[in-house]
């Protein structure tokens, strides 16, 4: 695909419309506010290739899972986020012809997303064989101020004729979901409706959704009182209007839609709330409403923005990543989490993966710590189900699901569901990371240790003791590198397990001192004993770690070095990606190609434990063999590349990570955006180029920004303090905006900084 995204630091723009890339464009221009959201579909409809989708967070349906032969641990049902009421739609017919960019002739197409306020604007000029031209301009936003509001402003200006227009703003719940296995594709049925409100419910899960709409019509700036004919069909409410079009005059249709679902409301309330909300904004203009939302966006940007001077492409990319990631998870609702596609597509069924703990949690942790805490509580609230899941597999402790919407397992491929169990350790790591960044020790006592202990218990049961060597090994797993299934002693899994068991042992001891009542309470609840804690320590000590001294690398799994050794750049040309569509699965499995950061991910997570040489040697070995087939790969490699001084490589990997969707590197943005990897871009900058770390309780930086960057600045929140960081090629500057005095490290030195003070350190960014 050619590169079609343009724009600037604050805007994402596409000039010209490319039917072959219509799905890509729809994904790129997705909008959401955490409560609801959808793809960049066209209000007037589009009969070409389209995924017309609008989702409500947490509103799902139990689909039939897809698998070959059933195995224990597979889900009996598969919860999936579903397409819900189409609220953007306005049917348009000009001079008797339906407006549809798949059929209508048009020119000067442009679509722009303004990341300052979330306004999506689309303009084009349509024409017919009589050379009648109409300028069209469409604006849409989903408010982050009024979480239940979506607004559309649809303007039409006949440039050289007088004519006639029919239009019908509507709400329609007869919408298909694409990514479903069962026979049903439409999950809604009508509850009731009136002229302005439609209430529908999901068939099995009984979620209610009320949508209300209000339509205002202007000619130039004059409000017009045109009567409409109500169009009332099953699961559909429309208002049909007809009027004249006057040359040079702009007809503007404003559509305001209020949406309430029953996730946090009673079923009887949704319609009431929906109507009330619409009523409360009846006197506000489109621009008023947009400005309320814009003000909140400004507040948000003040906290989360990363400024990059001297590199528009990089600046645009990180803002796009943050713009899309933030409204995917606002952190307000503990029952919600982050799905790999957010609100931009059905793929991954809206479910939560280990992406949350390893890739998303750090971003939220350092910008919005309360949101990060809710990500942890999400897992705490699913502990009971994770214990049940382990029990089903005849294992002790807790095994968290590979993917979930409600705590139960939604995945059904044995090599992943039953074997990609490093996900369990990621949950402990996220707790550890939260604690070391916030010093919120009460979290361990009140929630964390129950999770940590049950995961440690799982691992203590899942390992295998080898008597002859007096070691513990871990058989039959799939590491983060999903290209090698059912392997033994995946280094990442083993290392994480070793760490988890020891951390759990330590936390048990710590908790006994910190809060003996809570300690006893938890021990009683789960039958934990000191003997069991000690056993975790012993297993941790004896857990096997596979290192090849000759190659000076950690070996990804037993037998990895026996595989056919393949270098990505020798075997794969551009048109062979994704490689699973070029090579058969067995061939990939018996080669050295790895899907994504595996050993390297471990080196990143436990950065303080490994030497510079270890990082360099492993990077040198694994990077040429890595396909970066997962969106979660390039960002991690970029961080390690920064650390070992491979600055060009780090920069290229950052671009790959941050422009993954804008440049469609993986040829799959059409399905939706890679939301969970967007925080990876943030990490590539903050952990990578700025070299931010917390080791042994000390916040430190090892700055080294790309040569083309004149200045990098961002804010982070650590240990209840806000820091502003500014890095240039020669200087590292830090200001403590709020919180108590603290010691920080820059490169190898330590500095004390206090509130309102600005520290400037000379650095040589080229070392």
Tell me which residues are annotated as active site: 482
> How many residues interact with a copy of itself (rule CB under 8 A)?
41
Helix H or strand E segment including 233: strand 229-233
Q: Which range binds a copy of itself by CB under 8 A, 138-146, 493-501, 583-591, 741-749?
A: 583-591
- Shortest reach from residue 306's CB to a copy of itself, in Å: 35
Spatial separation of the C-alpha atoms in residues 25 and 524, rounded to whole Å? 55
Question: Tokens standing for 81?
Answer: 């986020």
Angle between helices 491-514 and 530-542 (to 10 degrees): 150
Q: Which range binds a copy of itself by CB under 8 A, 210-218, 220-228, 579-587, 633-641?
A: 579-587
SS3 38: strand
Q: Which range binds a copy of itself by CB under 8 A, 302-310, 339-347, 554-562, 626-634?
A: 554-562
Question: Tokens standing for 702?
Answer: 């090892």
350 φ/ψ sector (left φ>0, alpha ψ -120 to 50, else beta):
left
Site membership for a copy of itself, residue 553 (CB under 8 A): no
Interface map 387-406 toward a copy of itself (x if CB under 8 A): -----xxxx-----------
What residues between 174 and 193 interact with a copy of itself by CB under 8 A? 183
Query: In this chain, which of 129, 573, 586, 762 binds a copy of itself, going by CB under 8 A?
Result: 586
Site membership for a copy of itself, residue 276 (CB under 8 A): no
Give the DSSP per-residue string, 545-601.
--EETTTTEE-SSTTGGGSBP--HHHH--GGG-SGGGTS-HHHHHTBS-BSS-SHHH
Among residues 135, 110, 121, the alpha carbon closest in space to that of 14 is found at 110
Site membership for a copy of itself, residue 548 (CB under 8 A): no
| Contacting residues for 71 by C-beta, under 8 A, at least 6 apart | 412, 414, 418
| Contacting residues for 80 by C-beta, under 8 A, at least 6 apart | 60, 61, 62, 63, 177, 179, 180, 346, 349, 350, 351, 405
Spatial separation of the C-alpha atoms in residues 210 and 201, rounded to whole Å? 9
Spatial separation of the C-alpha atoms in residues 539 and 397, rounded to whole Å? 15
What residues between 87 and 146 interact with a copy of itself by CB under 8 A? none
Cβ pair 767, 645 in contact under 8 A: yes
Spatial separation of the C-alpha atoms in residues 686 and 727, rounded to whole Å? 11
Query: In this chain, which of 329, 414, 447, 536 binds a copy of itself, going by CB under 8 A?
Result: 414
Question: Tokens standing for 20?
Answer: 């072959």
Spatial separation of the C-alpha atoms in residues 145 and 295, rounded to whole Å? 8
Backbone Cα Rg of the chain: 27
- Shortest reach from residue 481's CB to a copy of itself, in Å: 14
Query: In this chain, which of 8, 234, 564, 740 binds a copy of itself, going by CB under 8 A?
Result: 564
- Shortest reach from residue 400's CB to a copy of itself, in Å: 15
Query: In this chain, which of 222, 573, 584, 764 binds a copy of itself, going by CB under 8 A?
Result: 584
CA–centroid distance for 695 within its chain:
27
Q: Which range binds a copy of itself by CB under 8 A, 69-77, 79-87, 424-432, 713-721?
A: 69-77
CB nearer a copy of itself, residue 9 or residue 184? 184
- Shortest reach from residue 589's CB to a copy of itself, in Å: 5
What residues between 324 and 353 interact with a copy of itself by CB under 8 A? none
Interface map 663-702 toward a copy of itself (x if CB under 8 A): ----------------------------------------
Q: Which range binds a copy of itself by CB under 8 A, 85-93, 303-311, 585-593, 712-720?
A: 585-593
Question: Tokens standing for 713?
Answer: 């600045």
The DSSP output letter for 352 is B
- Shortest reach from residue 183's CB to a copy of itself, in Å: 5
Among residues 140, 168, 137, the alpha carbon closest in space to that of 250 is found at 137
- Shortest reach from residue 651's CB to a copy of itself, in Å: 33
Site membership for a copy of itself, residue 206 (CB under 8 A): no
Query: In this chain, which of 269, 406, 415, 760 binds a copy of itself, going by CB under 8 A?
Result: 415
Interface map 416-445 toward a copy of itself (x if CB under 8 A): --xx--------------------------
For every residue of 118-154, which 3-state class applies, written as one string?
Answer: CEEEEEEEEECCCCCEEEEEEEEEECCCCCCEEEEEE
Spatial separation of the C-alpha atoms in residues 745 and 156, rounded to whole Å? 59
Question: How many C-beta neighbours within 10 Å does residue 531 have?
Answer: 7
| Contacting residues for 439 by C-beta, under 8 A, at least 6 apart | 719, 720
CB nearer a copy of itself, residue 370 or residue 587? 587
SS3 354: coil
Spatial separation of the C-alpha atoms in residues 673 and 24, rounded to whole Å? 9
- Shortest reach from residue 513's CB to a copy of itself, in Å: 37
Site membership for a copy of itself, residue 77 (CB under 8 A): no
Query: In this chain, which of 76, 108, 567, 585 binds a copy of itself, going by CB under 8 A?
Result: 585
| Contacting residues for 248 by C-beta, under 8 A, at least 6 apart | 157, 158, 159
Spatial separation of the C-alpha atoms in residues 612 and 610, rounded to whole Å? 7
Site membership for a copy of itself, residue 413 (CB under 8 A): yes
Interface map 48-67 toward a copy of itself (x if CB under 8 A): ------------------xx
Spatial separation of the C-alpha atoms in residues 532 and 540, rounded to whole Å? 12
- Shortest reach from residue 559's CB to a copy of itself, in Å: 6
- Shortest reach from residue 26's CB to a copy of itself, in Å: 23
| Contacting residues for 442 by C-beta, under 8 A, at least 6 apart | none
What residues between 460 and 499 interact with a copy of itself by CB under 8 A? 464, 466, 473, 475-476, 485-486, 488
Site membership for a copy of itself, residue 580 (CB under 8 A): yes
Measured CA distances, 355 to 101, 427, 496, 632, 719 (Å): 37, 10, 16, 8, 24
- Shortest reach from residue 103's CB to a copy of itself, in Å: 31
CB nearer a copy of itself, residue 381 or residue 488? 488
CB nearer a copy of itself, residue 550 or residue 749? 550
Query: In this chain, which of 563, 618, 626, 633 binds a copy of itself, going by CB under 8 A?
Result: 563
- Shortest reach from residue 53's CB to a copy of itself, in Å: 21
CB nearer a copy of itself, residue 388 or residue 415? 415
Spatial separation of the C-alpha atoms in residues 140 and 74, rounded to whole Å? 41
CA–centroid distance for 513 within its chain:
38
- Shortest reach from residue 565's CB to a copy of itself, in Å: 10
How would you list the strands of the sheet with 693-695, edge to edge?
693-695, 698-701, 742-746, 749-753
CB nearer a copy of itself, residue 118 or residue 410? 410
Instruction: Please return the burial class of 569, using the count of CB atoms within 10 Å of its CB with bins 0-12, 13-18 and 19+.
Output: exposed
CB nearer a copy of itself, residue 276 or residue 571? 571
- Shortest reach from residue 535's CB to a copy of itself, in Å: 18
CB nearer a copy of itself, residue 394 or residue 574? 394
Site membership for a copy of itself, residue 578 (CB under 8 A): no
CB nearer a copy of itself, residue 265 or residue 393? 393
Contacts with a copy of itself, residue ranges (CB under 8 A) = 66-69, 71-73, 183, 392-395, 412-415, 418-419, 464, 466, 473, 475-476, 485-486, 488, 558-559, 562-564, 580-587, 589-590
């Amino acid at each position: 695909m050619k590169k079609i995204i343009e724009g600037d630091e604050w805007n994402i723009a596409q000039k010209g419309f490319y039917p072959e890339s219509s799905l890509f464009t729809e994904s790129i221009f997705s909008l959401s506010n955490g409560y609801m959201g959808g793809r960049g579909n066209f209000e007037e409809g589009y009969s070409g290739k389209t995924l017309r989708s609008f989702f409500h967070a947490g509103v799902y349906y139990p689909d039939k899972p897809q698998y070959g032969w059933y195995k224990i641990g597979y889900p009996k049902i598969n919860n999936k986020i579903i397409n819900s009421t189409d609220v953007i739609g306005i049917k348009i017919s000009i001079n008797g012809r339906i407006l549809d960019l798949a059929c209508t002739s048009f020119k000067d197409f442009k679509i722009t997303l303004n990341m300052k306020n979330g306004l999506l604007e689309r303009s084009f000029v349509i024409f017919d064989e009589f050379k009648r031209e109409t300028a069209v301009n469409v604006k849409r936003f989903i408010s982050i101020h009024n979480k239940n509001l979506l607004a559309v402003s649809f303007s039409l200006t006949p440039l050289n004729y007088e004519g006639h227009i029919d239009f019908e703003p509507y709400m329609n719940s007869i919408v298909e979901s694409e990514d479903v296995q069962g026979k049903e594709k439409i999950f809604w049925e009508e509850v009731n409706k009136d002229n302005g409100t439609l209430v529908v419910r999901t068939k099995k899960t009984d979620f209610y959704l009320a949508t209300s709409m209000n339509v205002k019509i202007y000619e130039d700036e004059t409000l017009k009182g045109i009567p409409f004919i109500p169009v009332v069909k099953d699961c559909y409410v429309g208002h049909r209007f007809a009027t004249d079009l006057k040359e040079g005059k702009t007809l503007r249709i404003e559509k305001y839609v209020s949406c309430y679902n029953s996730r946090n409301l009673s079923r009887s309330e949704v319609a009431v709330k929906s109507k009330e909300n619409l009523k409360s904004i009846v006197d506000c203009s489109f621009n008023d409403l947009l400005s309320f939302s814009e003000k909140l966006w400004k507040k948000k940007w003040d906290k989360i923005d990363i400024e990059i001077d001297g590199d528009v492409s990089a600046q645009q990319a990180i803002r796009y990543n943050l713009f899309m990631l933030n409204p995917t998870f606002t952190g307000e609702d503990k029952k919600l989490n982050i799905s790999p596609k957010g609100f931009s597509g059905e793929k991954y069924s809206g479910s939560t993966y280990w992406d949350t703990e390893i890739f998303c949690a750090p971003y939220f942790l350092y910008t919005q710590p309360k949101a990060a805490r809710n990500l942890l509580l999400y897992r705490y609230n699913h502990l009971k189900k994770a214990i049940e899941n382990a029990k089903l597999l005849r294992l002790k402790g807790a095994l968290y699901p590979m993917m979930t919407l409600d705590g139960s397992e939604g995945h059904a491929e044995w090599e992943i569901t039953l074997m990609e169990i490093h996900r369990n350790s990621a949950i402990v790591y996220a707790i550890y990371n939260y604690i070391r960044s916030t010093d919120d020790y009460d979290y361990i006592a009140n929630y964390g240790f129950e999770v940590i202990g049950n995961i440690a218990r799982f691992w203590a049961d899942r390992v295998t003791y080898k008597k002859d060597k007096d070691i513990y090994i871990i058989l039959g797993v799939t590491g983060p590198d999903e290209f090698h299934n059912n392997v033994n002693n995946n280094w990442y899994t083993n290392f994480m397990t070793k760490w988890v068991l020891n951390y759990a042992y330590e936390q048990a001891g710590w908790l006994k001192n910190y809060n003996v009542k809570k300690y006893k309470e938890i021990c009683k609840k789960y039958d934990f004993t000191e003997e069991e804690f000690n056993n975790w320590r012993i297993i941790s000590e004896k857990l096997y770690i596979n290192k090849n001294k000759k190659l000076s690398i950690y070996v990804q799994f037993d037998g990895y070095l026996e595989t056919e050794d393949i270098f990505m750049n020798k075997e794969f040309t551009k048109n062979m990606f994704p490689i699973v569509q070029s090579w058969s699965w067995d061939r990939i499995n018996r080669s050295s190609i790895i899907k994504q950061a595996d050993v390297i991910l471990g080196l990143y997570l436990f950065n303080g434990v490994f030497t510079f040489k270890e990082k360099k040697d492993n990077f040198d070995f694994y990077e040429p063999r890595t396909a970066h087939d997962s969106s979660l790969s390039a960002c991690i490699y970029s961080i390690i590349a920064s650390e070992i001084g491979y600055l060009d490589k780090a920069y290229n990997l950052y671009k790959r990570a941050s422009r993954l969707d804008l440049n469609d590197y993986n040829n799959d943005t059409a399905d939706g955006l890679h939301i969970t990897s967007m925080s990876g871009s943030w990490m590539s900058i903050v952990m990578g180029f700025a070299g931010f770390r917390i080791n042994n309780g000390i916040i430190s930086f090892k700055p080294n920004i790309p040569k083309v960057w004149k200045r990098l600045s961002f804010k982070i929140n650590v240990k209840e303090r806000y820091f502003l960081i500014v890095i240039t090629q020669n200087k590292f500057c830090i200001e403590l905006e709020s919180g108590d005095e603290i010691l920080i490290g820059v490169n190898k030195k330590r500095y004390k900084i206090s509130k309102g003070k600005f520290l400037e350190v000379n650095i040589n960014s080229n070392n």
